[in-house]
Structure 1
Amino acid sequence: MKISEILDFLKDEIIETRIEVDTDLEIKNFKDNSELVEKNDVFIAVKGFKVDGHDFIHSALSRGAVFVILDNPEKIPEDLSLDYVLIKNTRKVIAELAYKNKHISPKDFKMFAVTGTNGKSTVATLVHHILQESGKKSTLFSTVEIMIKDQVIEEPYNTTPSVIKISEILEKSKLENVEFVNMEVSSHAIHQKRVEKLEYDLISYTNITRDHLDYHHTFKEYMDTKLSLTNYLKKNGKVIVNIDEIELDNFHVDKNKIITYGFDDKADYTIKSINQSIYQMNFKIDTPEGEELSIYSSIIGKFNAYNITNALIVCKEYGLSYDQIKHSIITFKGVRGRFELIPSSKALGFSVVIDFAHTPDALDKVLSNAKEIVKGRIILVFGAGGNADVGKRKIMGEVASKYSDIIVLTTDDPKDEDPEKIIEQVKDGITKERNFIVIPERKTAINAAINFANRDDLVIIAGRGHEKFQLFSNGKQIKFNDFEIASECIDSLRRSMKK
Structure 2
Amino acid sequence: MKLKANDFKLLLEGNIKSFSLNGEEIIVEGIKDNSSEVKNNDIFIAVKGHKADGHDYINYALGNGASLIIAENEDKLPKDKLINYIIVKDIKKATADLVYSLNNISIDDFSIVGVTGTNGKSTSVSLVHHILTESGLNSTLISTVEIKINNQIIKQPRNTTPGILEIAELLKLSSESNSKIINIEVSSHAIDQRRIENLKFDIISYTNITRDHLDYHKNFEDYKKTKLSLMNFLKENGKIIINIDKLNKKDFYSSNKALITYGFDESADYVIKNFEQNIHQVKFTMKTIDNEFVEIVSPLVGKFNIYNIVNAFIIAKLLGIETELIIKAVSSFKGIPGRFQLVPSSKSLGFNCVIDFSHTPDALEQVLSTAASLTDGRIIIVFGAGGNADQGKRKIMGEVVSQKADVIILTNDDPKDEDPQKIIEDVLEGIDQTKQFLVIPDRKTAIEAALSFANKGDIVLITGRGHEQFQLFANGKKVKFNDYEVATKCIETIKRGLRR
Shared fold per TM-score greater than 0.5? yes
* Equivalent in the alignment of 1:465: 466
- Amino acid paired to 1:470: Q
* Equivalent in the alignment of 2:96: 95
Q: Deviations over 1:299-342 (max 9, x none)?
A: 10000000000000000111111111000000001011111111
Distance 1:132 1:375 in 2: 39
* Equivalent in the alignment of 1:138: 139
Alignment of 1:124-203 (within 5 A): 124-203=125-204
Q: Deviations over 1:3-49 (max 9, x none)?
A: 322244235222222322x4423312111122222221101011111
Q: Percent identity?
A: 53
- Relative to structure 1, the CA distance from residue 41 to residue 434 in structure 2 (aligned partners, 3 Å threshold; closer, same or farther) is same
* Equivalent in the alignment of 2:250: 249
TM-score when scaled to structure 1?
0.98
Distance 1:371 1:78 in 2: 66
Contact 1:2/1:23 (8 A) holds in 2: no
Distance 2:56 2:372 in 1: 50
- Amino acid paired to 1:467: E
Distance 1:255 1:15 in 2: 36
Once the 2 structures are TM-superposed, how far is the Cα of residue 376 of structure 1 from its aligned partner? 1.0
Alignment of 1:446-457 (within 5 A): 446-457=447-458
* Equivalent in the alignment of 1:3: 3
The residue matched to 2:25 in structure 1 has which SS? Answer: coil
* Equivalent in the alignment of 2:371: 370
* Equivalent in the alignment of 1:434: 435
Distance 2:269 2:238 in 1: 17
Q: Which runs of 5+ in 2 are unaligned?
A: none
Match of 1:19 among 21, 26, 40: 21
* Equivalent in the alignment of 2:385: 384
Q: How many residues align?
A: 498
Alignment of 1:30-429 (within 5 A): 30-253=31-254, 257-429=258-430
Once the 2 structures are TM-superposed, how far is the Cα of residue 54 of structure 1 from its aligned partner? 1.8
Q: Deviations over 1:141-162 (max 9, x none)?
A: 0000100011011111100000
* Equivalent in the alignment of 2:30: 29
Contact 2:27/2:67 (8 A) holds in 1: no
Distance 1:98 1:77 in 2: 25
Distance 2:129 2:291 in 1: 26
- Amino acid paired to 2:136: G
Distance 1:23 1:160 in 2: 38
Contact 1:29/1:101 (8 A) holds in 2: no
Distance 2:377 2:257 in 1: 47
Q: Deviations over 1:453-474 (max 9, x none)?
A: 1111111111111111111111
Contact 2:384/2:411 (8 A) holds in 1: yes
Once the 2 structures are TM-superposed, how far is the Cα of residue 82 of structure 1 from its aligned partner? 3.2
**Comparing 166-175 and 489-498, the one that deviates more:** 489-498
Contact 2:369/2:404 (8 A) holds in 1: yes
Contact 1:408/1:445 (8 A) holds in 2: yes
- Amino acid paired to 2:499: K
**Comparing 84-93 and 73-82, the one that deviates more:** 73-82
Distance 2:63 2:465 in 1: 37
Distance 2:481 2:472 in 1: 9
Contact 1:136/1:179 (8 A) holds in 2: no
Q: Deviations over 1:386-441 (max 9, x none)?
A: 11111000000000101111111001111111000000000100001111100111
Once the 2 structures are TM-superposed, how far is the Cα of residue 86 of structure 1 from its aligned partner? 1.5
- Amino acid paired to 1:216: H
Once the 2 structures are TM-superposed, how far is the Cα of residue 198 of structure 1 from its aligned partner? 0.8
Contact 1:230/1:253 (8 A) holds in 2: no
- Relative to structure 1, the CA distance from residue 449 to residue 8 in structure 2 (aligned partners, 3 Å threshold; closer, same or farther) is same
The residue matched to 1:213 in structure 2 has which SS? Answer: coil
- Amino acid paired to 1:379: I
The residue matched to 1:264 in structure 2 has which SS? Answer: coil
- Relative to structure 1, the CA distance from residue 23 to residue 30 in structure 2 (aligned partners, 3 Å threshold; closer, same or farther) is farther
- Amino acid paired to 1:3: L
Distance 2:450 2:381 in 1: 8
Distance 1:236 1:11 in 2: 27
- Amino acid paired to 2:361: P
Once the 2 structures are TM-superposed, how far is the Cα of residue 96 of structure 1 from its aligned partner? 1.3
Once the 2 structures are TM-superposed, how far is the Cα of residue 137 of structure 1 from its aligned partner? 0.3
Distance 2:176 2:158 in 1: 24
- Amino acid paired to 2:379: I
Distance 1:63 1:478 in 2: 31
- Amino acid paired to 1:370: A
The residue matched to 1:388 in structure 2 has which SS? Answer: coil
Q: Which runs of 5+ in 1 are unaligned?
A: none
Q: Deviations over 1:154-183 (max 9, x none)?
A: 111100000100000110100000121100
TM-score when scaled to structure 2?
0.97
Contact 2:231/2:255 (8 A) holds in 1: no
Distance 2:136 2:197 in 1: 30
Contact 1:264/1:270 (8 A) holds in 2: yes
Distance 1:89 1:425 in 2: 40
- Amino acid paired to 1:411: N
Distance 1:61 1:448 in 2: 54
The residue matched to 2:216 in structure 1 has which SS? Answer: helix
Contact 1:160/1:189 (8 A) holds in 2: yes
Distance 1:41 1:372 in 2: 56
> Cα RMSD over matched residues?
1.3
- Relative to structure 1, the CA distance from residue 384 to residue 254 in structure 2 (aligned partners, 3 Å threshold; closer, same or farther) is closer
Distance 2:385 2:41 in 1: 44
- Amino acid paired to 1:430: I
**Comparing 318-327 and 250-259, the one that deviates more:** 250-259
